[in-house]
Amino acid sequence: MIPVPIPVSVVVMTRNEAVNLPRCLPALTRFADRVVVDSGSDDGTPEIARSLGARVVPFRWDGRYPKKKQWCLDHLPATTEGLCDWVLFVDADERPTPALVDEIARLMAAGPTHAAYWIDGRPVLRGRALRFGCWNRKLALVDHRRVRFPDLPDLDVATMWEVEGHYQPRVDGTTGRLRHPMEHGDAKPAAAWFDRHNRYSDWEAVLRADGRMDRLIDGEPAGGRLVDRRLLKRLFQRLPGRPLWAFLHAYVLRLGLLDGAVGLDHALGRAFYYWQVGLKMRAAAHSRANGPAPAPDLRAYSSTSAIRSPPSAFSRSKVRLRTPGSSIR
């Protein structure tokens, strides 16, 4: 007996994700609609998406709001095929576990009681899914008629360009939480991880420096925890020695050490990210106090003139950093 398609539109946002799509899209076959929203990929991403049964919608950012996720919620319902009422956002380097797909199928059959649902993201490093450590959580399953990503004033952070940063949509209604996770494992080289998190840390450093991050956190849904998610995030924003605490939280408190070498790598990666944020904030404060230093000639530090440096997030540069992928994590 052929199972009834799950009445959910899965939206996968891409830019040069040819290496990840063959792992992502086959995990989504039970859903009624799979949409790949592509930002001008030149590595065969659209062709791979079509060959795996997804429909492809082109996207070109105009440098303003809405950014890509909200654009999908605004414009895809107006296409010929439209969207289901419920949308599941999946990054190209993510894939729902079979248990999560079953859980969503049961939820849709019974009728959702909330306007959006939190889904945990389980990191996968070197092919191994972490059992412990610090996972992420995001509002990934949403009723597109009842959510909206805010127009955050972050267009000055050139390195974030077309996709919303690390923040959740506003929800008209209550939120729930699904029990089973989404696996998050990028098949690209480790250099892509460093490149992506360099951009993210630019964005977070700028928003933390002038209070925009606090305002963003205040507007987020509570998260369905015993302790308000917003309170925890505000406390962590002000915690001295954040890199050390991020490491201890993931490796010791959340038992990442039981995952062996990959648990250590994941905890160190979290610490490195928050060290980057702090370093960039301190460098920006020093620059404001002492005046900007002249930009260095990077050719003097490299054997090749082909190196490109990401634009400074604090210079309000209009240059866009072109990266291998547009998935946000």
Q: Which domain holds residue 49?
A: 7-189
pLDDT value at 319 more than 50? no
pLDDT value at 303 more than 80? no
Check whether residue 142 and residue 226 sit in a common domain: no
Please compute the mean of the pLDDT values over residues 61-67 and round it to a whole number. 94
pLDDT digits (tens, 9 = 90+) for 75-99: 999 787 889 999 999 999 999 999 9
pLDDT value at 109 more than 60? yes
The pLDDT mean for the chain works out to: 87
118: helix, strand or coil: strand
- Do the Cβ atoms of 277 and 284 come closer than 8 Å? no
pLDDT of residue 296: 59
pLDDT of residue 189: 94
Highest mean pLDDT: which range of 3-7, 9-13, 158-162: 9-13
Tokens matching residue 293: 């230093």
Q: Which helix (H) or strand (E) holds 137?
A: strand 136-143
Check whether residue 165 and residue 264 sit in a common domain: no
Check whether residue 241 and residue 165 sit in a common domain: no
Check whether residue 63 and residue 137 sit in a common domain: yes
The percent of residues in the chain predicted with pLDDT above 90, rounded, is 69
pLDDT of residue 237: 72
In a domain, 311, yes or no: no
- Residues in CB range of 301: below 8 A, 6 or more apart: none
Q: What is the DSSP string of 28-45?
A: GTTEEEEEEEES--SSSH
- Do the Cβ atoms of 327 and 17 come closer than 8 Å? yes
Domain end: 189, 220, 241, which one?
189
Cα 268 from Cα 48, distance rounded (Å): 34
pLDDT value at 312 more than 50? no
pLDDT of residue 160: 81
- Do the Cβ atoms of 88 and 143 come closer than 8 Å? no
pLDDT value at 306 more than 50? no
pLDDT value at 124 more than 50? yes
The confidence band for 302, taking pLDDT boundaries of 50, 70 and 90, is very low
Tokens matching residue 210: 């002038």
Cα 198 from Cα 165, distance rounded (Å): 13
C-alpha distances in angstroms, 174 versus 83, 190, 276, 320? 22, 38, 35, 36
pLDDT of residue 300: 54
Q: Residue 26 burial (CB < 10 Å; 0-12/13-18/19+)?
A: exposed
Please compute the mean of the pLDDT values over residues 291-298 and round it to a whole number. 62
- Residues in CB range of 308: below 8 A, 6 or more apart: none
Tokens matching residue 125: 């490093």
pLDDT value at 314 more than 70? no
The percent of residues in the chain predicted with pLDDT above 70, rounded, is 84
The confidence band for 228, taking pLDDT boundaries of 50, 70 and 90, is low
Q: Which helix (H) or strand (E) holds 233?
A: helix 229-237
The residue with tokens 């290496």 is: 19
Check whether residue 37 and residue 143 sit in a common domain: yes
Check whether residue 33 and residue 113 sit in a common domain: yes
Please name which of 124, 135, 148, 145 lies closest in space to residue 254, comparing C-alpha atoms: 135
* CATH value at residue 11: 3.90.550.10
Check whether residue 143 and residue 274 sit in a common domain: no
pLDDT digits (tens, 9 = 90+) for 128-173: 999 999 999 999 999 999 999 998 888 888 888 899 988 899 999 9
In a domain, 206, yes or no: no
Check whether residue 154 and residue 263 sit in a common domain: no
Cα 201 from Cα 312, distance rounded (Å): 11
DSSP state, residue 117 = E
* Dihedral angle, C-alpha 217, 219, 224, 230, nearest 10 °: 30
pLDDT of residue 317: 39
Check whether residue 20 and residue 169 sit in a common domain: yes
pLDDT value at 281 more than 80? yes
Torsion sign (Cα): 299, 301, 302, 303: positive
Cα 327 from Cα 329, distance rounded (Å): 7
Check whether residue 115 and residue 233 sit in a common domain: no
- Number of domains the chain is built from: 2
The confidence band for 72, taking pLDDT boundaries of 50, 70 and 90, is very high
